[in-house]
């Protein structure tokens, strides 16, 4: 893994009236879980990461935005082209921008199931970019007492890294997922005998 640099899109603008803590960026379509998926919008401030839940059954704006992104995905036939498309996408516009007009403390307590991770407790944040099989990047956050894992849907790992770099410095890393073939794959392809 390599330390993250502040490359990628610039963080989103900040709202007025948020007080001393301001939003410096947002990442939509962050998920956690396999069978029972929890959907979040990740809101980043210099003091904390706020994973604000949203429900597709009750949040029509976010649900419509997700449907639009899924439609974009369906229109691209090759996974590598899809990854390139979403890495280049401008994620700074969408219904998640509504949080810019809300006080940060209200965001942190306003949606049931939301999580707050103080920046001061983060010992490491690792982003793993998928390069071959899907548009689902991974985010791992280590604090002193736990490790959190999230899926960054639609290849948003590089976008998130551009926001987290200035906040976490060398505590954030980004790397490509290494696709290693198992012994069975090598055996079936004949590589085991070469």
Residue 187 has pLDDT above 50, yes or no: no
Q: Considering the entire predicted model, what is its pTM?
A: 0.82
Closest CA to 10 of 182, 163, 164, 161: 163
More confident residue, 167 or 144: 167
Report the 10 Å Cβ neighbour count for 12: 21
pLDDT band, residue 172 (cuts 50/70/90): very high
Cα torsion angle, 29, 33, 34, 36, sign: negative
Structural domains in the chain, sorted by start = 2-178 (2.30.29.30)
Residue 127 has pLDDT above 80, yes or no: yes
pLDDT at residue 35, as a whole number: 84
pLDDT band, residue 131 (cuts 50/70/90): confident
Closest CA to 2 of 126, 138, 151: 126
β-bridge partners, 30: 40, 152
Using a pLDDT cut of 70, give the percent of the chain over it: 81
The mean per-residue pLDDT over the stretch 148-156 comes to: 94
Using a pLDDT cut of 90, give the percent of the chain over it: 68
* Region of residue 44 (phi > 0: left; psi between -120 and 50: alpha; otherwise: beta): beta
């Amino acid at each position: 893994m390599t330390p993250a640099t502040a490359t990628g899109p610039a963080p989103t603008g900040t709202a007025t009236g948020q007080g001393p803590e301001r939003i410096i960026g947002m990442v939509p379509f962050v998920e956690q879980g396999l069978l029972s998926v929890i959907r979040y919008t990740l809101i980043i401030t210099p003091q904390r990461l706020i994973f604000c839940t949203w429900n597709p059954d009750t949040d029509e704006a976010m649900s419509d935005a997700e449907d639009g992104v899924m439609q974009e995905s369906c229109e691209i036939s090759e996974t590598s082209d899809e990854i390139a498309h979403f890495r280049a996408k401008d994620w700074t516009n969408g219904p998640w921008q509504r949080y810019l007009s809300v006080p940060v403390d209200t965001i942190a307590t306003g949606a049931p199931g939301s999580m707050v991770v103080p920046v001061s407790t983060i010992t490491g944040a690792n982003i793993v970019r998928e390069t071959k099989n899907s548009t689902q990047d991974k985010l791992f956050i280590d604090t002193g007492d736990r490790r959190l894992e999230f899926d960054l849907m639609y290849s948003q790992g590089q976008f998130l890294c551009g926001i987290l770099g200035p906040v976490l410095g060398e505590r954030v890393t980004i790397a490509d997922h290494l696709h290693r073939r198992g012994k069975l794959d090598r055996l079936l392809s004949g590589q085991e005998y070469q």
